[in-house]
A = this chain, B = another copy of it.
Amino acid sequence: MRIKIINPNTTQSMTDKIGACARAVARPGTEIVAVSPAMGPASIESHYDEALAVPGLLQEIAAGERDGIDGYVIACFGDPGLLAARELAAGPVLGIAEAAMHLASMLGSSFSVVTTLGRTIGQARHLAEAYGMARFCANVRACELPVLELEDPRSGARERIVAECRRALDEDGSDVIVLGCAGMADLCEHVADVLGVPVIDGVAAATQLVESMVNLRLRTSKRGELARPLPKAYSGALQGFAIRG
Contacts and interface: CB of A to CB of B under 8 A. Distances in A.
Nearest to A200: B218
Contact of A169 (B107, B223, B226): B223
A50 B80 CA distance: 13
Given A10-B233, A38-B236, A123-B225, 18 more contacts: A39-B235, A40-B234, A40-B235, A42-B232, A45-B232, A47-B84, A48-B229, A103-B216, A103-B218, A105-B132, A106-B209, A106-B213, A120-B225, A129-B135, A132-B134, A169-B223, A175-B226, A205-B216
- From A87, A105, A230, name the one whose CB has the most chain B CB atoms within 10 angstroms: A230
How many copies of this chain?
Answer: 6
Contact of A54 (B38, B54, B204): B54
Interface of A: 10, 25, 27-28, 37-43, 45-52, 54-56, 58, 81, 83-84, 86-88, 92, 94, 98, 102-103, 105-109, 118-123, 126, 129-136, 146, 169, 173-176, 189, 192, 196-198, 200, 204-205, 208-209, 211-213, 215-227, 229-230, 232-239, 241-243
Contact of A118 (B51, B174, B224, B241): B224
Contacts of A241: 41, 52
- From A173, A196, A198, name the one whose CB has the most chain B CB atoms within 10 angstroms: A198
Nearest to A242: B41
A87 B225 contact: no
A25 B43 CA distance: 38
A113 to B, nearest CB: 14
B103 A235 contact: no
A25 B168 CA distance: 37
